Chain A
Amino acid sequence: MRYFVGIDIGSTAIKISVTDENKNLVGHKISASGSMFYKYAQEALAELLKELGIDEREVVYTVATGYGRKLFKEADENISEITANAIGAQQAAKSYGNIKTIINIGGQDSKAISLDAEGNVVNFAMNDRCAAGTGKFLDVVAMNLEIGVDELSAYHFKSVGTPLSISSTCAVFAESEIIGLLGNNHSVEDIVSGVHYSIAKRIVKLVKRVGVKENVYFDGGPALNDGLVNAIENELGHKIFVPEYPQITTSYGAAVLACDAFLSESAS
């Protein structure tokens, strides 16, 4: 069998996807980037292949992406995470419909990508300031509230009061705002939904810069947070599609590209 690997080295996590010749996802792995991207990426790939029972020689083409992509020298090719994200989203949402807009919230950045009918990137926008409103921000919020990141969604849906807006999406300033709110005995639920709406408003502004066209696809780790998904849907005013494994869309896109590249090379 021939297999294709996409490896996405992000600021927070390394995501690896493996596909077969039909671009079906056969396995994936998510591990922390830590301090030594290159070493951890190699280890993670070896582990994944072992888990899947795939021999290294069966991997015929590897594409690296993400901002650490240039460190992964074994790759046959590397592409930007914007392109990889677009390809991955198109492929992952195939049964759902044509994707025209992608929202991606990563560990330390967020982007909005606009696609044409063929799935080509026509425009994109990225957050211009720090880690405001990204996955890291949610980590800090959860830590301040002394709850787990995976609990944020449940708290969001339990909020019955008015969401309490956090005026600062800077993780450092937001921390003091949240402590202030807690000090005044506001409910954790209303704080959480306020945080989600603050992030959602910000990301929707970014999306509006590239234009909102349906269908809208949302990926990146924070897309696992259903409360945040709902907040973005409300801000946007329509439904968004979240894939089964929102963290790995970009690496999946890289694997799909690996497959395409290999097939066109062997055809010529």
Chain B
Amino acid sequence: MHTEHTIETSAERQNRHKAMEAIAVLNSLKEDFKSPIRSMGYFYDLFEKVYCHHQPLHEGKAKIGTMCIQIPSEIIYALDAVPIRLCNGFYTDDEIGGDLLPQKSCPLVKATVGWFASDNFSDKPDITFSPTTCDQKTKAGAIIESFGHTVIDVGFPRTKESEESCHYWRESVKSFAVKLSKFQGKKLTRSNLESAIKKVGYAQSLYHKLTEFRKNKAVPILGVDMFLVTNAFFFDKIDEWISAVEKLVSELEQRANDGVNVAGKASPRIVYTGSPPIFPNYKIPLIIEQSDAIIVADETCSSNRMFNDMVAVDEWNLYDMIDSVSDKYLKACTCPIFTQNDDRIRRIIQLVRSYNGDGVIYQAFAGCQVYEMEQRSVLAAMEREGIPILYIESDYSPSQHGQLTTRVEAFIESLKNRKRMKK
């Protein structure tokens, strides 16, 4: 018999949708693969806590939203606030944002806008800084502001070779530091910035330790697990992240000694590049690793690009430190928004060489213009180098799963054949 039910509010519905997306991916990570890693439990629990149970992590702390990778987290930590990176991987939010942006927009940007439109956060940023990187993110900042949230633009140059752009960016970062310091009512000092740089640097060094193990013939950690670990850095408490990764490093050390391999004997080794896989949009990485290949390295801004390059300080005085921090976010960046981007191609080739990659998979989000445009030069470069590459365009919708799987499987099989022929 039909009874009266309480009906979810739209926020409850959105939370349930996100929980359902999240749990499906977490279950896949936990259950679909052999030799699970014990210390990954911290990360599985963290994502479940935040995205299935919507529990806040940073109550009582100032939370600083960042719209892109370029906002220096060193300065945020130095001023005793928490950076929350707002790049969003949820299809639920993408659908909400889809009503507000042109249809062919990037799903990541739509998801971020949808997140603010629904104003449903477990850790809502108090203020957001938006670097003027790609067109869509730049414009999204203004849309988010129209919802009544404070968004401050941080000018970012589209070229990185010239002295002028280096100078422009250093000034932008200084002005960001001044604004944030005012907002926080706290001074940026030599000592608080130095310790923040060292802490973030230490987190980066742990990441480097993790990636070293992936050079081994027997790979002790899945690419999807690595994406989860780096993704946690978007929002986790940095000290807890550090201690969880320390445990992970020592477990991987043990696994490397024991020769544990999460992949198969003939699994092709993949270098992943393109639009960032952000939880729970691990669609393509999951398909790759469920199709008997292993991601050994990546060139994406949700992972490698976030950790690869360290801040190089000459003199530990305040202004030198700020400039060094700025330079890390400009010179080392391989984002396709730049006019020329040979650095990115060099980085991919270098990753293929040093991680002994068999092929590259390049995903562009449909609607992410710069990645779509740059595929041409990357594909041509890979062809010159004799590196097989598969280019895939996809979005956050779960609908084309079957077709994508077929394409990825065929590519992986061709890599296996190639390997066999070489022998």
State whether A237 touches B20 (Cβ < 8 A). Answer: no
A residues with a Cβ closer than 8 A to B are 161-165, 167, 181, 184, 186, 194, 197, 226, 229-230, 233-235, 237-239, 242
Complex: A237 Cα to B5 Cα, angstroms: 12
Chain A residue with the shortest CB-CB distance to B9: A237
Chain B residue with the shortest CB-CB distance to A229: B2
Q: Given the complex, which residues of B lie within 8 Å of A197, measured CB to CB?
A: 16, 20
B24 within 8 A of A: yes
The residue from A165, A184, A230 contacting B31, defined by CB atoms under 8 A apart = A184
The residue from B2, B13, B24, B401 contacting A237, defined by CB atoms under 8 A apart = B13
Chain A residue with the shortest CB-CB distance to B5: A230
State whether B13 touches A162 (Cβ < 8 A). Answer: no
User: Given the interface contacts A234-B16, A237-B10, does A167 sit within 8 Å of B5 by beta carbon?
Assistant: no
B398 within 8 A of A: yes
8 contacts between A and B (CB under 8 A): A163-B16, A164-B24, A164-B27, A167-B24, A167-B398, A184-B27, A186-B27, A197-B16
Interface residues of B in 1-58 (CB under 8 A from A): 1-3, 5, 7-8, 10, 12-13, 16, 19-24, 27, 31, 52
Complex: A237 Cα to B401 Cα, angstroms: 28
B residues with a Cβ closer than 8 A to A are 1-3, 5, 7-8, 10, 12-13, 16, 19-24, 27, 31, 52, 398, 401
Complex: A164 Cα to B10 Cα, angstroms: 20
State whether A162 touches B2 (Cβ < 8 A). Answer: no
Complex: A184 Cα to B21 Cα, angstroms: 18
Known: A235-B13, A237-B13, A242-B2; 4 extra A-B contacts, CB below 8 A, are A161-B23, A194-B20, A234-B16, A239-B7
Q: Given the complex, which residues of B lie within 8 Å of A239, measured CB to CB?
A: 7
Chain A residue with the shortest CB-CB distance to B398: A167
State whether B10 touches A226 (Cβ < 8 A). Answer: no
Complex: A233 Cα to B8 Cα, angstroms: 8
Complex: A229 Cα to B16 Cα, angstroms: 17
Complex: A165 Cα to B21 Cα, angstroms: 8
Chain A nearest CB, measured from B77 CB (Å): 32
Complex: A233 Cα to B2 Cα, angstroms: 12
State whether B401 touches A167 (Cβ < 8 A). Answer: yes
Chain A residue with the shortest CB-CB distance to B1: A226
Q: Given the complex, which residues of B lie within 8 Å of A234, measured CB to CB?
A: 7-8, 12-13, 16
Chain B nearest CB, measured from A220 CB (Å): 13
Q: Given the complex, which residues of A lie within 8 Å of B16, measured CB to CB?
A: 162-163, 197, 234
Q: Given the complex, which residues of A lie within 8 Å of B21, measured CB to CB?
A: 165
The residue from B7, B8, B52 contacting A162, defined by CB atoms under 8 A apart = B52
Chain B nearest CB, measured from A132 CB (Å): 13
Complex: A72 Cα to B10 Cα, angstroms: 47
The residue from B5, B31, B401 contacting A233, defined by CB atoms under 8 A apart = B5
State whether A163 touches B2 (Cβ < 8 A). Answer: no
Q: Given the complex, which residues of B lie within 8 Å of A163, measured CB to CB?
A: 16, 19-20
Which of B12, B22, B31 has the largest number of chain A CB atoms within 10 A?
B31
Chain A nearest CB, measured from B191 CB (Å): 44
User: Given the interface contacts A165-B24, A167-B401, A242-B2, does A237 sit within 8 Å of B19 by beta carbon?
Assistant: no
Closest 3 pairs (CB-CB, A-B): A162-B23, A162-B19, A242-B2
Q: Given the complex, which residues of B lie within 8 Å of A226, measured CB to CB?
A: 1-3, 5
Chain B nearest CB, measured from A181 CB (Å): 8
Complex: A161 Cα to B1 Cα, angstroms: 25
Chain A residue with the shortest CB-CB distance to B48: A162
Complex: A161 Cα to B2 Cα, angstroms: 23
Complex: A186 Cα to B52 Cα, angstroms: 16
User: Given the interface contacts A229-B2, A229-B5, A234-B13, does A164 sit within 8 Å of B20 by beta carbon?
Assistant: yes
State whether A165 touches B7 (Cβ < 8 A). Answer: no
Which of A165, A181, A184 has the largest number of chain B CB atoms within 10 A?
A165
Complex: A237 Cα to B17 Cα, angstroms: 13
Q: Given the complex, which residues of B lie within 8 Å of A242, measured CB to CB?
A: 2
Q: Given the complex, which residues of B lie within 8 Å of A233, measured CB to CB?
A: 5, 7
Q: Given the complex, which residues of B lie within 8 Å of A238, measured CB to CB?
A: 7
Complex: A235 Cα to B12 Cα, angstroms: 10
Complex: A235 Cα to B20 Cα, angstroms: 13
Chain A residue with the shortest CB-CB distance to B53: A162
Chain A residue with the shortest CB-CB distance to B24: A165
Q: Given the complex, which residues of B lie within 8 Å of A186, measured CB to CB?
A: 27
Complex: A3 Cα to B271 Cα, angstroms: 74
Complex: A147 Cα to B5 Cα, angstroms: 24
Chain B nearest CB, measured from A20 CB (Å): 25
Chain A nearest CB, measured from B179 CB (Å): 39
Which of B2, B7, B21 has the largest number of chain A CB atoms within 10 A?
B2
Complex: A162 Cα to B21 Cα, angstroms: 10
Complex: A258 Cα to B257 Cα, angstroms: 81
The residue from A165, A181, A184, A230 contacting B20, defined by CB atoms under 8 A apart = A165
Complex: A163 Cα to B20 Cα, angstroms: 6
Complex: A121 Cα to B359 Cα, angstroms: 56
State whether B31 touches A162 (Cβ < 8 A). Answer: no
Chain B nearest CB, measured from A77 CB (Å): 32
Chain A residue with the shortest CB-CB distance to B30: A184
Complex: A229 Cα to B1 Cα, angstroms: 11
Chain B nearest CB, measured from A232 CB (Å): 10
Chain B nearest CB, measured from A149 CB (Å): 16
Chain A nearest CB, measured from B19 CB (Å): 4
User: Given the interface contacts A162-B52, A163-B16, A167-B398, does A237 sit within 8 Å of B23 by beta carbon?
Assistant: no
Complex: A236 Cα to B23 Cα, angstroms: 22
Chain B residue with the shortest CB-CB distance to A165: B20
Chain B residue with the shortest CB-CB distance to A157: B5
Complex: A186 Cα to B23 Cα, angstroms: 11
Chain B residue with the shortest CB-CB distance to A164: B23
Q: Given the complex, which residues of B lie within 8 Å of A184, measured CB to CB?
A: 27, 31
Chain B nearest CB, measured from A216 CB (Å): 12
Chain A residue with the shortest CB-CB distance to B12: A234
Q: Given the complex, which residues of A lie within 8 Å of B5, measured CB to CB?
A: 226, 229-230, 233
Q: Given the complex, which residues of A lie within 8 Å of B401, measured CB to CB?
A: 167
Chain A residue with the shortest CB-CB distance to B19: A162
Complex: A184 Cα to B36 Cα, angstroms: 14
Complex: A152 Cα to B21 Cα, angstroms: 22
